[in-house]
């Protein structure tokens, strides 16, 4: 609830605007939780105030299995062996468990500086594949968890129809992911009724291997999906590229551009294995590439050609995906570090002489994250939702930092948390490093994970 109908004015010594830091910036939060015109005296929040970061790719349930797939197996460990571990884990998760895990995850996201999350949600049915009495029960669990934690949500129910490019049926463990097109559109329609300022609903096509061409066309042609964001996993694995070439005669990104009107509504998640022509196609389309550097590293996916993509003026955002890390700082840091390790050069993301890598990356991920989440603006200006974070100006890492150095220190100086306060939709959800309900949410999470470990 908003305390008052009057705008609340906040002031920062330095406020992050579209073109960089602004001295003595003021924002006003109106009764709807958006930024409006300022009037009257303003409360000082701190030295450094910047927009909260959208997290454009999350599978919330995977938070509870982070760290459980790091032991050497008998076979050649890869994405595909990890996926078996993940499927077995998912089989024990129903709505109550999902809500508890997601609420804990969202608290962690907020404390790290994420203020919006895109949920790529494919656990739809009971573990045996039969629908719940309320067909959308698992999606509702995520909506409830997001509202409890106070994070804004872009809910992306996933269409998942086949087990491979050859159209094979879903396996027993995959059956709970499946819908036909009509049932899927009904699910979107039902969930759309829950939309309001902190919830948007969008389309997720799991991947080209899981969605036949005809189904993709039907979903994209439906009136209902016309203004929705569209997300898809694509070209994450070499095996996927090879299968796509073998069955469809084209690489995944190449095939998608030949068969869909890919534009700024699209988020291509991973897009790891792309050639020069595909890089230019994505950049030209205005689609967002959804990079998840810590998960891509953890799964041994490969490296996205960041430098070529930025040269082509491509749009990108970041996601925490499997949640082996929940921190925009670490995602952006590893996005840069992966490139440094591969090229044996430094400061890869910066495009101009003396440009700041930290500022470049934060700004790029804000813009792409907002676009992928279906938000109109990823900046602190009138009309945007009031989502902001306040850095800890008492932290030693930020001592004596000028405006042109603070973002580099935020992203590249150590591991102590530097996000002190977080406002989402005009509500303080984190103050002085503490989330308003963190103890209760953590206790419920612990008890659910203990139950899962015992089954």
Print the binding letters for residues 317-356 with Zn ion: x by CB under 5 A, - otherwise: ----x-----------------------------------
**Residues 232, 275, 209: CA angle, nearest 5 degrees:** 35
The smaller minimum CB distance to Zn ion, of residues 301 and 321, is found at: 321
Interface mask (CB under 5 A) for Zn ion, residues 256-285, using x and -? ------------------------------
Residues 367-426 that bind Zn ion (CB under 5 A): none
Give the residue nearest to Zn ion (CB): 321
Report 303-322 residues binding Zn ion (CB under 5 A). Answer: 321
- Distance of alpha carbon 10 from alpha carbon 28, whole angstroms: 6
3-state percent helix, strand, coil for the chain, nearest multiple of 5: 40, 20, 40
Least distance in angstroms from the C-beta of 67 to Zn ion: 18
Q: Where are the alpha helices (DSSP H) in 117-180?
A: 137-149
Q: How does DSSP assign 159-174, residue by residue?
A: E---SSTT-PPPPGGG
Shortest CB 177 distance to Zn ion, Å: 13
User: 3-state secondary structure string, 43-76?
Assistant: EEEEEEEEECEEEEEECHHHHHHCCCCCCCCCCC
* Site size with Zn ion, rule: CB under 5 A: 1
Nearest distance in Å: CB 321, Zn ion? 5
For the record, the structure tokens of 323 come out as 């949640």
Q: Which is nearer to Zn ion, 206 or 371 (CB)?
A: 206
Query: Based on CB atoms, which residue is closest to Zn ion, 321 or 438?
Result: 321
The distance of closest approach from Cβ of residue 58 to Zn ion in the complex, given in angstroms and rounded to an integer, is: 8
Of the residues 59, 231, 233, 270, only one is catalytic, namely 270
233 is catalytic: no
**Catalytic residue from among 301, 321, 387, 392:** 321
CB of 436 to Zn ion, least distance (A): 29
Specify the residue, 27 or 365, whose C-beta has the smaller distance to Zn ion: 365
Token pair, residue 35, equals 């930024």
List the one residue out of 374, 377, 395 whose CA is nearest residue 386: 377
Residue nearer to Zn ion on the CB measure, 321 or 421: 321
User: What whole-number distance in Å separates Cα of residue 438 and Cα of residue 451?
Assistant: 20
The helix/strand/coil state of 430 is strand
- Least separation in angstroms between residue 451's CB and Zn ion is 25
Distance (Å) of CA 451 to CA 59, 97, 455: 20, 9, 7
Question: What are 26's two structure tokens?
Answer: 């003021």
Closest residue by Cα to residue 266 from 373, 191, 363, 179: 373
Distance CA 239, CA 232 (A): 17
321 is catalytic: yes
**Which residues of the chain form contacts with Zn ion (CB under 5 A)?**
321
The residues annotated with a catalytic role in the active site are 270, 321
């Amino acid at each position: 609830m908003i305390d008052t109908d009057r705008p609340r004015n906040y002031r920062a010594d330095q406020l992050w605007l579209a073109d960089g830091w602004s001295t003595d910036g003021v924002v006003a939060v109106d009764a709807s939780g958006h930024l409006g015109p300022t009037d009257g005296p303003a409360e000082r929040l701190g030295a450094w105030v910047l927009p909260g970061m959208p997290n454009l790719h999350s599978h919330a349930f995977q938070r509870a299995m982070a760290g459980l797939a790091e032991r050497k197996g008998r076979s050649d460990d890869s994405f595909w062996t990890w996926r078996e571990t993940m499927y077995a884990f998912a089989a024990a998760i129903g709505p109550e468990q999902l809500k508890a895990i997601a609420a804990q995850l969202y608290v962690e996201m907020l404390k790290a500086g994420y203020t919006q999350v895109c949920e790529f949600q494919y656990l739809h049915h009971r573990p045996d594949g039969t629908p719940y009495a309320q067909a959308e029960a698992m999606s509702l669990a995520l909506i409830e968890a997001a509202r409890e934690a106070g994070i804004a949500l872009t809910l992306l129910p996933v269409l998942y129809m086949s087990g491979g490019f050859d159209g094979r049926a879903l396996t027993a463990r995959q059956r709970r992911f499946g819908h036909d097109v009509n049932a899927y559109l009904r699910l979107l329609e039902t969930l759309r009724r829950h939309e309001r300022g902190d919830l948007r609903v969008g389309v997720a096509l799991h991947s080209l291997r899981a969605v036949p061409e005809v189904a993709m066309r039907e979903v994209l042609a439906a009136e209902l999906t016309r203004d929705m964001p569209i997300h898809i996993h694509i070209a994450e694995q070499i095996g996927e590229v090879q299968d796509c070439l073998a069955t469809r005669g084209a690489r995944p990104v190449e095939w998608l551009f030949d068969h869909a009107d890919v534009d700024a509504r699209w988020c291509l998640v991973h897009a790891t294995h792309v050639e020069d022509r595909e890089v230019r196609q994505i950049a030209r389309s205005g689609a967002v590439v959804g990079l998840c550097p810590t998960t891509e590293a953890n799964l041994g996916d490969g490296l996205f050609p960041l430098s070529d993509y930025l040269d082509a003026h491509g749009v990108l955002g970041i996601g925490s995906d499997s949640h082996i890390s929940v921190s925009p700082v670490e995602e952006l840091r590893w996005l840069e570090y992966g490139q440094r390790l591969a090229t044996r050069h430094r400061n890869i993301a910066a495009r101009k002489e003396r440009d700041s890598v930290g500022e470049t990356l934060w700004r790029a991920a804000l813009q792409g994250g907002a676009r992928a989440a279906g938000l109109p603006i990823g900046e602190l200006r009138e009309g945007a939702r009031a989502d902001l974070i306040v850095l800890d100006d008492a932290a030693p890492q930020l001592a004596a930092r000028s405006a042109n150095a603070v973002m580099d220190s935020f992203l590249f100086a150590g591991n102590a948390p530097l996000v002190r306060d977080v406002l989402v939709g005009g509500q303080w959800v984190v103050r002085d490093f503490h989330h308003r309900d963190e103890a209760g949410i953590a206790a419920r999470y612990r008890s659910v994970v203990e139950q899962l470990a015992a089954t």
